Chains A and B, each alone.
Chain A
């Protein structure tokens, strides 16, 4: 084992750090809005006479704050973190500098410009349409143009990664692509293909309509194009967390990845199956054929398979680590894992809650069973376990080694970071459990529940709602700790960092995998074929009955 004393790829590290700073700013503001929403569920809209929705300069309503929460967390925090992380992972795995740093910074600049453009109407209450911006709710054109720039600019990240990969490939003909770079490339490729939906929605429907160039829009077609991107985006959030679980956490735990070939198979299946599944968000929609909904339900169950492979492989890797540390028995190896390491513990806690997120997700995917939970707070409970924990708590855990690694300064307090991770875990468990139960009782999502007149008719809801608030307060404390630790690390901490870039070796290495797993064309073609099978029939049906009959509304 070699310990790196010199941090490599400093220039790429600065680019990644720029992405992380934007991501963290979004997490801070978006997270604060989440605090307000959780407290509203518990019946609290003000603290000591300070009203969240009346006394803040840029907050006009619950739903504007909810728009901020959604856009900043699921679009900005995730996307900016991921772009920075994947760039840094790739150059380190390939041991090849980014082909063009200038292009990398230009991509970042365009994303930031788009974000600022979209932020203006959100803050001025001209885009209170939530992050899904379903028409005929009609926001300021700046909102659509800004978000489009952010999404389209991410294509530049794929270009950067591919050019860097080709440089590496020329010098390393015949070698297997290192696993982290392989995974980063698949993540960006899958995401880029999937953004065709939202790009088409923006360019052909939303932007011309919001500029007044066309008078009406087709809300069902817009939803279909949105969810073409809207489900793959959850894998775009999740796969970078998987990269850490597969290629870094085993090393941090003192073990090895169990199976490199199985990890590659899982990622290739995500490339194939992440996209042709968006209709499972539209089971409850009118105007879409049963056969197409059910076909995409089949594919959605298909994409459960690589998640099960991941579950097995990651847990087997942890077991490998536990036994390498002297653990024995069926389960007692778990005790031997490095629970004192905050970066490790945060990520394992994220995995534990993700198991429940996955099970809940199966319920959502289950076609007619979805009738019980669709658009209820169950769904909110579900995605706070996935993007709000599996992804977010993992990214926090990654930053606990990556910020020291990039800044050269030791983490301010590992012990405080452990408290932070456990607080998030407990807060989220309470919060999410309450929302799942409330959803089964019929409580709707994206509603100002604390102020809803029908709450008075629902004593059972009232008995559970305080747990949403308690969980939210615990996560707020956890968030404050997180930012305190990071800020003190880069400002106050004097001791030099004692971290290395974690690179897990494999028990069963890439040489055990058939060579087809390292080819791109068959898998990319397969992905496009499955998309065509799943989406050509419903899109043809919707386009042939296209009716731009809905004018815009601004009910806020």
Chain B
């Protein structure tokens, strides 16, 4: 192969470098607009809690689903090895079920009593790490009826894959 002269190598390099800068810049601008102008964001600083006193600390002293306004709900959930607690403490089922009407806006307020867990609700952008000592919080709107599986997605011991629940949207 004939050696290209130095100038044509520079031209090739710049022809690649310019879009290689422009494309990531365009992507991050789009992300910034969606996050900070359209409100599709991740969680930020959301509050701390003493993991040894979760049972006595509001709102986690009364875990469960409660209506806080028209079409607005709060789901207070405690994660523990290996279940989600969103009901009365004597319910020992590993599967928790919540039910809201369609069109509901649900704020999930979650913490852990023991190790790190993770909450992901399928077909939504609810996806949070649940870290002991920290409170996780996010809001989602449910317009489409159906059963939404939510699982623990961070390893929390040998029963990790038994930890799940279902959110029914009617």
Contacts and interface: CB of A to CB of B under 8 A. Distances in A.
A372 B124 CA distance: 7
B133 A362 contact: no
B12 to A, nearest CB: 7
Contact of A305 (B21, B44, B127, B149): B21
A369 B31 contact: yes
Given A294-B35, A553-B115, A287 B123 contact: no
Interface string B131-143: 1111111000000
Contacts of B147: 457
Contacts of A223: 116, 131
- SS class of chain B's interface: helix, strand, loop or mixed? mixed
B156 interface: yes
Contact of A452 (B24, B130, B162): B162
Contacts, number: 215
B28 A298 contact: yes
B102 interface: no
Contacts of B4: 507
Interface string B145-156: 001010111111
Interface stretch (B46-54, B58-66, B71-79, B84-92): B46-54
Interface stretch (A44-52, A389-397, A420-428, A543-551): A543-551
A220 interface: yes
B151 A308 contact: no
10 contacts: A219-B133, A255-B1, A258-B9, A286-B129, A287-B46, A301-B27, A312-B16, A374-B118, A376-B153, A549-B132
B160 A457 contact: no
A305 B158 contact: no
A453 B42 contact: no
Given A137-B115, A220-B133, A457-B166, 9 more contacts: A284-B127, A286-B129, A286-B131, A290-B41, A293-B44, A302-B24, A444-B120, A541-B45, A556-B157
Contact of A218 (B13, B44, B133, B153): B133
A316 interface: yes
B96 to A, nearest CB: 12
A286 B125 contact: no
A130 B155 contact: yes
Nearest to B5: A508
B17 interface: yes
Given A309-B20, A323-B1, A508-B9, A447 B114 contact: no
Interface residues of B, number: 72
Interface string A505-524: 00110001000000000000
B115 A63 contact: no
- Give the residue among B9, B34, B116 with the most A Cβ atoms within 10 A: B116
Interface of B: 1, 3-4, 6, 9, 12-13, 16-17, 20-21, 24-25, 27-28, 31-32, 34-35, 40-48, 50-52, 81-82, 94-95, 114-116, 118, 120-123, 125-137, 147, 149, 151-162, 164, 166
A259 interface: yes
Nearest to A448: B161
Contacts of B160: 63, 446-448
B120 A375 contact: yes
A283 B25 CA distance: 20
Contact of B44 (A136, A289, A508): A289
A282 interface: yes
Contacts of B155: 63, 66, 130, 134, 137, 446-447
A455 to B, nearest CB: 9
In this complex, the member of B3, B4, B31, B48 whose beta carbon has the largest number of chain A beta carbons within 10 angstroms is B31
Contacts of B95: 453
A362 B6 CA distance: 33
A371 B125 contact: yes
A449 B164 CA distance: 12
Contacts of B135: 286
A547 B48 contact: yes
Which residue among B34, B127, B164 has the maximum number of chain A CB atoms within 10 Å of its CB?
B127
Given A259-B13, A304-B24, A555 B158 contact: yes
Contacts of B24: 301-302, 304-305
Interface in A529-556: 541, 545, 547, 549-551, 553, 555-556
A284 B118 contact: yes
Given A368-B35, A444-B151, A547-B48, A555 B129 contact: no
A316 B158 contact: no
A372 B126 CA distance: 8
A255 B20 CA distance: 25
A555 B152 CA distance: 15
Contact of B20 (A219, A305, A507, A547): A305
A372 B131 contact: no
Contacts of A130: 155
B158 A63 contact: yes
Interface string A193-227: 00000000000000000000000001110010000
A367 B161 CA distance: 27
A5 interface: no
Contact of A284 (B9, B42, B151, B156): B42
A53 to B, nearest CB: 10
